[in-house]
Structure 1
Amino acid sequence: MCGRLNIIDHPLCEIVSKTTGINFNSESNDNLCPSEYVSTIVQSQEQLSQVNMQWGIQPSWSKRLLINAQSETVATKPTFAQAFATHRCLIPCSGWYEWRKEGSKKQKYYFSHVQQQPLYMAGVSYYGAKTQPQVVTLTTNPNSMCEQYHHRMPVLILPEDINAWLQPCSMSSHLSPLMSAIPNEYLCVATS
């Protein structure tokens, strides 16, 4: 689910900067992959800031890179619970890609905002003494449009909910409403 992101620096950076009140800066990458660095927004000391993080974590027990966490269990699974309680973040992006098997081939689809606005993917971040900051994106059950292509979709935070998502709060019940699929009308899909 959502293993590739599309980041287009203009006008994404300008819109994100106006929306968040920070000087957001990101390089374009139309095929950002796990293990690459992505610009994120975090809240520290009651103000928003940008932190560049590596996408994915690899706990000692895992043989592979973990890039997503399910919103339904992120608050309780040991791998994610602490990060979810204290280090939520956002990944502004232009869109994401999914592949769907059609006949004997896989077709690539691109999902973006219907009005070409930034999408704010929910994430949790990890800060280690010996590693660069890392991020895992959150997924949820898809809306009716996205479920035609994949059984999961990213948790997308609407601009009016950015502060609620980033504010320190260990009670997942306050955050649960933000982790549902956004309505179909916010998104469009095209073959890529």
Structure 2
Amino acid sequence: MCGRLSQYRGIHDFVETLGMPEVWRNNVGDQALGRYNVAPTTSVAVLRVDEAGPRADLVKWGWRPHWATDRAAPINARVEKVAHGPFFRAIWPHRAITPIDGWYEWVDEGGPKKQPYYIRRRDRRPSLCASIGQFTNSEHDGFVIITANAQGGLVDVHDRRPVVFEPDLAREWIAAGMPNEHAEQMVLNLGEPSEAFEWYRVGTAVGNVRNQGAELIEQRQ
């Protein structure tokens, strides 16, 4: 997953997909987000549950522990290492869902520039991405999306993909009190297969993060 996504629907659409009818603390707003070209280090809407119940917040995409000052904050965490490596140990228990409409990858097809592709669910529902983060209402807050090896045809676009859950598993992922061992098995084994997604070429304008708008996800030949 190269690090660019879209999040253009509104929180109410994402919550409806998640299937949690509870009252949410919505710190994002009621309007459609309208973001078709979301870059790392910017704020992204995430869904999670704390001691007071479900909430939606804008959180910086990217995180690193306080001692890792010699590198940029990663935006993704590899599923093979996230549960046991020291880098993400502090935030592994703090789970969230990042609801996205789709994401972009760039493929070398022999032209002067890499060709961007847009990936989304075939059923056009939001993708509910497994995430972890620091959510303390401080300047050090941030989150990462958990990624796994690509499968099937997705390998032709990129070798990594976000771990996307069906709604029932997404609700389980953010439920309070879930054992860490069970969470690890979920991200290792229960993410959506490549058959759940479609991908197609889009225009090169997405390469400039200042460009926004629905035209960015229109299919191109």
TM-score range, shorter chain: 0.7 to 0.9
5+ residue gaps, structure 2, are 203-221
Gaps spanning 5+ residues in structure 1: where?
Answer: none
SS at match of 1:83: coil
| 1:56-67 matched pairs, under 5 angstroms | 56-59=62-65, 60-67=68-75
Are residue 176 (structure 1) and residue 149 (structure 2) matched? no
Provide the C-alpha distance between the structure 1 equivalents of 2:118 and 2:3, rounded to a whole number of angstroms.
Answer: 12
User: Matched residues in 1 for 2:127 and 2:75: separation?
Assistant: 18
Match among 84, 87, 93 for residue 79 of structure 1: 87
After superposition, the Cα gap between the structure-2 partners of 1:179 and 1:156, relative to the gap in structure 1 and judged at 3 Å, is farther
Partner of 2:158: 150
Contact 2:121 2:197 in 1 (8 A): yes
Is the CA contact 2:130–2:145 (under 8 Å) kept in the aligned structure 1? yes
Structure 2 equivalent of residue 98 of structure 1: 105
Corresponding position of 2:96: 89
Aligned to 2:14: 16
Counterpart of 1:172, as a letter, is E
Structure 2 counterpart of 1:77, one-letter code: G
Q: Flag the structure with higher strand content.
A: 1
Equivalent position of 1:109 in the other structure: 117
* Comparing 173-182 and 29-38, the one that deviates more: 173-182
Decide which moves more: 91-100 or 76-85.
Answer: 76-85
Aligned twin of 1:162: 170
Separation in structure 2 between the aligned mates of residue 13 and residue 128 of structure 1, nearest angstrom:
21
Sequence identity percentage: 25
Counterparts of 2:57 and 2:86, CA distance in 1: 24
Q: Deviations over 1:16-65 (max 9, x none)?
A: 23223255646121110000000101111262211210000244333222
Q: What is the root-mean-square deviation of aligned Cα atoms in Å?
A: 2.1
Aligned length: 189
TM-score normalised to the size of structure 2? Answer: 0.77
Max radius of gyration: which structure? 2
Q: What does residue 3 of structure 2 align with?
A: 3
Q: Deviations over 1:143-191 (max 9, x none)?
A: 2121111111111111111221112334324541344441233111111
The residue matched to 1:43 in structure 2 has which SS? strand
TM-score (norm 1): 0.88
Structure-2 change in CA distance of 1:41 and 1:130 (3 Å): closer
Amino acid at match of 1:103: G
Secondary structure class of the residue paired with 1:102: coil
Residue equivalent to 1:126: 134
For 2:77 and 2:137, the matched residues in 1 are separated by: 23
